[in-house]
Amino acid sequence: MTTNSLQKALVEALSFGYQISPKALTVLKDFGKGRSEISVEEIVRKVIEEKARGKSSKSIEIDDLVSVFPDIFEGVAFRLSRSASMASGVKEGGKDLESEVEIVSDSGSLLSPGVETFSFLFKSRYEKLVKILMERPEGRQLIKISKMGKEKGNARIAGLVSVKRPTKSGGVEFTLDDDTGNVSVLVSSSEVKKALSEITLDQCIMVDVDASQGRLLAKNIFQPDTPSRVASTSKKTVYAVFLSDLHVGSDKFMESAFNRFLEWLNGVTGRSEEDEEIIGRLKYLVIGGDIVDGVGVFPNQEYELAEQDVYKQYEMVAKKLKLVPRHLQMFVIPGNHDATRQALPQPMIPRKYAEGLYSLLNVRMLGDPCLFKLNGVSVLTYHGRSLDDVLATTPGLSYQRPEEAMKVLLRARHLAPIFGHRTPIAPEREDSLVIEQVPDIFHCGHVHAVGEDNYKSTLILNSGCWQAQTGYQANLGISPRPGIVPVVNLATIEVVWKEFLTSFSLGSK
Ligand code: FE
Ligand code: ZN
């Protein structure tokens, strides 16, 4: 596809008396850069045909493209949070318990429409987060940056933070962008400076500014944050286990510990009364990504692989998960080591790589992130790639306490606020990484450390890993915490940690 084809499409549209709006043109231009079954000319011809049927305007807008080619231009399920319900009766194990599962929104079915512009994405991010900010009581007096008078006085504005830099006088200056313009804001009070230190770049915040001194001075900063709320609970006692970062295929995959976990699920190992209770009511197993170690993920990875073929790595995972009792419903999202698009949101691991997993009837392959409900309890599972960026840029955080970094995301109401660092983000039309619905359980992995906390009634979990320390981690001084899993009672949202290392017992977390 060349500009030539776009040119032809334009000429053809004009010959029928139609114009293509500048925005639609940008979208078409970007679409043309990707591979596709259909050419830009064909798209425009079809849109004109459709428009000619009605008595609509002679301008081709983005909405026209979306209405004629929703699959290509809508980013599919971005708009419609796809809800699928399934209820499966249980014949074995979990006794008479029924699964009640609802997928609220899943990145697995998203397709990049080929639009290579980030302007849509950031506009979407801004709009969604301002909406959340406006739900706060303070959000009512919000005004647009362009509406801020030059006159003296106070104003409350909101936007994305684009630059943060120290000033000569020991303060910090940052730029705030909204959809009408941008301003430079100065922070001098230590209280506001502290609040700003927790704000990541590209995050959306609300700021009270004082314009009386000739420049804008920040007096107060508000994050979208999560409102005070009561978490939903299951009516029945049902348990869910959370795992992540199996890294099957790595020579550091802790196979015997994982086998011990599988034995525990099957009631093979000697069990306490507590184990009996859990196993009898265990319904769900959520796996938060990095299920294989992958190939070529980092330089010289081949020297640390026990299995160099990614297809075989997935076969090994399938063989293990086949041993999970069939009445347990499993949910699998990808991580950065898995064989799928690296940019967030990550589509589910494609069938061609993981045929064995797809053939397991109790495995549900989903995208990263994914929001679903288990017996009425909403679970947001996200691998956690952006935790690296949050940990690197927020003072006072450490890899050993991933729950603190996860709180930063909850307060920002965004899973990957920082753009252009280690977390690749796809140029989708809509920002689906905004945490629009506050989950009852927020589950991540990726950092290979365990974490648990409660933040305004949201249970925060980081489920550790099944991989011993790698050379890379040793260099960074990161000690993983493998072979231990959180088990959550969905009726009470209480957590029990179970460990499966033989050599020594970690006890509870
Ligand atoms: Fe990992
Ligand atoms: Zn990872």
Distance of CA 491 to CAs 53, 280, 281, 331, Å? Answer: 55, 15, 11, 20
The domain ranges of the chain are: 3-73, 103-108+243-507, 137-222
Residue type, 213: Q
CA 13 to ligand 2 center in whole angstroms = 47
CA 334 to ligand 2 center in whole angstroms = 9
Distance of CA 483 to CAs 204, 212, 450, 507, Å? Answer: 37, 58, 10, 12
Burial class for 87, CB neighbours closer than 10 Å (0-12, 13-18, 19+): exposed
d(C-alpha 290, C-alpha 336), whole Å: 6
**Mean predicted confidence (pLDDT) in 68-73:** 76
CA 84 to ligand 2 center in whole angstroms = 27
DSSP H/E element including 265: helix 255-265
Burial class for 210, CB neighbours closer than 10 Å (0-12, 13-18, 19+): middle
CA 467 to ligand 1 center in whole angstroms = 8
pLDDT for residue 81 = 25
CA 92 to ligand 2 center in whole angstroms = 34
Q: Per CATH, is 103-108+243-507 categorized as 3.60.21.50? A: yes
Question: Is pLDDT above 60 for 87?
Answer: no
Residue 78, token pair as written in the block: 């971005």
pLDDT for residue 217 = 94
Mean pLDDT lowest among 14-18, 31-35, 126-130, 452-456: 31-35
Q: Please report the sign of the dihedral spanned by the C-alpha atoms of residue 261, residue 266, residue 268, residue 272.
A: positive
Give, as residue ranges, everything with CB less than 5 Å from ion ligand 1: 245, 290
CA 40 to ligand 2 center in whole angstroms = 37
d(C-alpha 332, C-alpha 357), whole Å: 9
CB 463 within 8 A of CB 288: yes
Residue 266, token pair as written in the block: 């099957």
CB 198 within 8 A of CB 186: no
In whole angstroms, how large is the CA radius of gyration of the chain? 25
CA 336 to ligand 2 center in whole angstroms = 5
CA 445 to ligand 2 center in whole angstroms = 7
- Three-class SS of 357-421: HHCCCCEEECCECEEEEECCEEEEECCCCCHHHHHHHCCCCCCCCHHHHHHHHHHHCECCCCCCC
Mean pLDDT rounded to a whole number for the chain: 87
**SS3 label, residue 189:** coil
CA 469 to ligand 1 center in whole angstroms = 11
Specify the CATH number for 3-73; select among 2.70.98.90, 3.30.465.10, 1.10.486.10, 1.10.8.60: 1.10.8.60
Residue 360, token pair as written in the block: 């397991």
pLDDT for residue 110 = 52
pLDDT tens per residue across span 111-162: 454 444 678 889 999 999 999 999 988 888 899 998 887 656 789 999 999 8
pLDDT for residue 283 = 97
CA 460 to ligand 1 center in whole angstroms = 18
d(C-alpha 173, C-alpha 290), whole Å: 39
Q: CATH class for domain 137-222?
A: mainly beta
CA 287 to ligand 2 center in whole angstroms = 12
